[in-house]
Structures are given as structure tokens and as C-alpha cells.
Homo-oligomer: A and B are copies of this chain.
Amino acid sequence: MARIVEVRQAVLTKNDARARELRRTFGSAGVCVVSLVSSPGAGKTALLCETLARLRSRYRVAAFVGDLATDNDARRLRESGAPVHQITTGTVCHLDAEMVARALAGWDLSTLDLLFLENVGNLVCPASYDLGEDLRAVLLSVTEGEDKPQKYPTIFSTADLCVVTKLDLAEAAGYDDALARQALDAVRPGLEVFRVSVRTGAGIPEWLDRLEAEFARKRAASCPA
């Protein structure tokens, strides 16, 4: 066990270095990078599909999507009309900075405003891997239980914001928003929360506004007047 911890530490240190390089690359190109993490099936692809479709008339958007197997998600996301690259991880349970760097080969960052990184569905391992993103959004679906933040504290405490998804199922699932807020505050007091339903469109404008504000902040930072 000591040996695997030591090797894991070395892997994370290397990842952190690679992520810093990525962050510099994204920074100098003025590309705003947003990653999505969650349980399998919490609705990352549905939210991202809607996000790409709504933003692409005004911004140059693209997405990288990670999965162990299949390119189902890339195919779904391409229906938005945005360029999408599938990263197939095989048995690896998370994206890492090197995978993102490799996927960047052949992309001209000067043609992009916002890049989305959809991680493998997993509430544990992706938490430890910095991908050079500006914002990490963790999704929590109303059907998976309000206590998930306390049971998977690292991924919630390392996220920049939380998106509660599938709001249209809240009543059927007996979702208790106060309980979820309590669980979030226990691991990350005051974490910014959006509540959305891709089906009904509820909360989507607020989510898009947040992304646009992040993009504006990034552009202002990378091109000082």
C-alpha cells in the first residue's frame, strides 16, 4: 500500500505540473475552460449538449469528453453543432492533464472562446486531477440522494460550483433541497449552486450567464487594457 501511495503521489505531482502548463496555454489564448464532473448518469452530457447548442451562436465553443468506452457522448454532443473530441480512457477512471494536452493537438486555440471538458462519470478519482480548467462544476442529480457531498467530500470541496440537475424529477424523487444545501455546506460552505432541468429549461439561463461572466473575466485577464 505504501508503494502505491508513493507512485500515486508521483503521478499527481506530474499531473499538477502538466495542468499548470495547460493553464498557461489556455490563459495566453484567452480560452475559458470549464470541466464537468459527477456520478455516472447525473446528466453531464445532457447539460453540456444544451450549453453548447445555446452558446454556439455567440461564442466559439468546443468540448472534449472522456469515457472508458464508446463514443456515445461525443455523438450526442455533436448534435449541438459544436466540434467535439472523444477521449477514450480504456480502464482509466478519470481524465488527466496529459490526456487533455494530447487531445489539444490539432486544435487551434485561437479559434476558441470556451472549451468544455466532460470527465468520466465518477465521484472519486477525478477529484485529484487538475485539468488546467478555470471552473470545475460538480453535478448532483435530484435522484441520487442529498447526502452525496458528505459521502464524496473531495470532489465537492474541490469544485468551484455545483449544478443540481434533473429538477423536473425533484418531486417524483422526493428531493429535499434544504437537505442538499446542508450537505454541501458541511463540506464546502457557501458553494455556489445552480438548479437546472434540461428538459424544462429551468435554471439554464442563470447557468449560461455564469459561464458568460467567467469567459468575460478570463478575456479581461488575458488581454489587459
Binding site for B on A (CB under 8 A): 3-4, 7-8, 11, 39-42, 67-70, 72-73, 91, 93, 120-125, 128, 141, 143-145, 147-148, 150-154, 166, 168-169, 172-173
Contact = CB atoms under 8 A, between A and B. Distances in A.
Most buried by B among A39, A128, A172: A39
A154 B154 CA distance: 25
B154 A124 contact: no
B152 A40 contact: yes
B11 A69 contact: no
Given A41-B39, A143-B41, A143-B141, A151 B68 contact: yes
Tallying the copies of this chain within the complex gives 2
Contacts of A42: 144
A170 to B, nearest CB: 10
B7 A72 contact: no
Nearest to A89: B124
A125 B93 contact: yes
A179 B144 CA distance: 21
Contact of A148 (B40, B147, B152): B40
A169 B143 CA distance: 9
A39 B122 CA distance: 8
A7 B9 CA distance: 13
